[in-house]
Amino acid sequence: MATAQQVPDILSEEFAGNPYPAYRLMRESAPLIWHEATNSYLISRYEDVERAFKDKASAFTTENYHWQIEPVHGKTILQLSGREHAVRRALVAPAFRGSDLEEKFLPVIERNSRRLIDAFRHTGSVDLVDGFATRFPVDVIAEMLGLDRADHARFHGWYTTVIAFLGNLSGDPEVTAAGERTRIEFAEYMIPIIQARRDSLGDDLLSTLCAAEVDGVRMSDEDIKAFCSLLLAAGGETTDKAIASIFANLLLHPDQLAAVREDRSLIDRAFAETLRYTPPVHMIMRQTAEEVTLSGGTIPAGATVTCLIGAANRDGDRFAEPDTFNIFREDLTTTTAFSAAADHLAFALGRHFCVGALLAKAEVRVGVGQLLDAMPGLRLADGFDPVEQGVFTRGPRSLPVEFTPVAG
């Protein structure tokens, strides 16, 4: 197993500034690296990360989530396996697909997108991150759950603290403590709401979760609270980063932006290619249940494995011209890009494939479409160059744009 001392450390400023050259070195010369600081093995090749996500022999598990996720969310479905996982997923999944998504929640998505856009469509300029992307998915999830949108600042604060905890690769004790406090604060907020909703069910997602039953199993107050916490953090952070990244990528490729503006069915292609090229989440961890041999060597049983999605999605053995953003590429299947059969790895794969993928797709399709309608002549603000930031999750922290003002 090569250690490849020339590869920048994933905790270094050089890596944070631009991880893609480091990813290339890893794939080519060090596809399996022991990383002392995170006490984990780094894997970077597509075939290896795909295997870790899709493994059907249970060699790769989510046991690591007991220490990585449970301290901030409580026990979630991500930690479960076998029948227990199947039943819990069956309790929550129907709300994120089919008629529930189309009939109940699509109007919520459209309404929240319009409300945010109406605040700036007449101005001719906006920071798409601050003015739309960071607000839109949290507002949608809050309304889906039947929560008070006036608490947006609290929701945003909680989920950013949770994401900081998950991405705390250096082990900063203050970040750890803040994340653990968030679990307590969110429980104090949510549990009374859940209990009240059980007594007076409505047409919202929280009521659906309270009433859901599969094979005689219902979700406890703690189960629902943990799922809502996970939904706010995962759904908020990933869709936030995805929308900002889609526009950054398209603005840097004007011909593709023009194509999407002309044919809105290409929004799905732009989203899928963004998930491959600049994924919102760059790494997901797994734990080995037994000794596992991958392309770069052998990992012992009981080890934490950091799956580098950002590296695997640019593997030249899987994708042609992997460092090129191209919504028309032929090796990325759009029809399966938001399912467990996706070519990219941004939503993971297998039994722990992201349950909210179709919700994200609907949010992006509506949000991007309405933004394009409201911003003719869209262009980057003079002198601004979009720069990604982050290591665990990654995307533009700011995206100031200018456009021709449009009346509401």
Q: List the beta bridge partners of residue 308.
A: 283
pLDDT confidence of residue 217: 79
pLDDT confidence of residue 129: 97
> Which DSSP string do the residues of 263-328 spell out, in sequence order?
-GGGHHHHHHHHHHHS-SB-EEEEEESS-EEETTEEE-TT-EEEEEHHHHTT-TTTSSSTTS--TT
Q: Say if residue 17's pLDDT is above 80.
A: yes
pLDDT confidence of residue 4: 58
The domains found in the chain, sorted by start residue, are 13-402 (1.10.630.10)
Q: Say if residue 2's pLDDT is above 60.
A: no
How confident is the model over 179-189, as pLDDT tens digits?
A: 999 999 999 99
Neighbour tally for 320: CB within 10 Å: 11
How confident is the model over 62-99, as pLDDT tens digits?
A: 888 888 888 988 887 776 667 676 776 777 777 677 67
Q: Say if residue 141's pLDDT is above 70.
A: yes
What mean pLDDT is predicted for residues 44-56?
91
pLDDT confidence of residue 392: 93
Q: Say if residue 44's pLDDT is above 90.
A: yes
Q: Cα–Cα distance between 21 and 27 in angstroms, integer?
A: 10
Percent of the chain scored above 90 by pLDDT?
66
pLDDT confidence of residue 3: 52
Q: Cα–Cα distance between 276 and 314 in angstroms, integer?
A: 7
User: Residue 203 corresponds to which tokens in the numbers above?
Assistant: 């047409």
Q: List the beta bridge partners of residue 288.
A: 60
How confident is the model over 334-362, as pLDDT tens digits?
A: 998 888 888 999 988 877 777 788 889 99
Between residues 290 and 218, the one the model is more confident about: 290
pLDDT confidence of residue 111: 95
Q: Say if residue 1's pLDDT is above 50.
A: no
User: Residue 222 corresponds to which tokens in the numbers above?
Assistant: 């703690």
Q: Say if residue 57's pLDDT is above 70.
A: no
Contact call for residues 319 and 332 (beta carbons, < 8 A) = yes
How confident is the model over 220-235, as pLDDT tens digits?
A: 999 999 989 988 888 8
As a whole number, the mean pLDDT across the chain is: 90
Q: Say if residue 384's pLDDT is above 80.
A: yes
Q: Cα–Cα distance between 318 and 342 in angstroms, integer?
A: 13
Q: Cα–Cα distance between 234 and 92 in angstroms, integer?
A: 15
The residues near 383 (Cβ < 8 Å, ≥ 6 apart) are none
pLDDT confidence of residue 123: 96
pLDDT confidence of residue 337: 87
Q: Cα–Cα distance between 358 and 156 in angstroms, integer?
A: 22
Confidence of residue 5 (pLDDT cuts 50, 70, 90): low
pLDDT confidence of residue 70: 87
pLDDT confidence of residue 85: 67
Between residues 398 and 236, the one the model is more confident about: 398
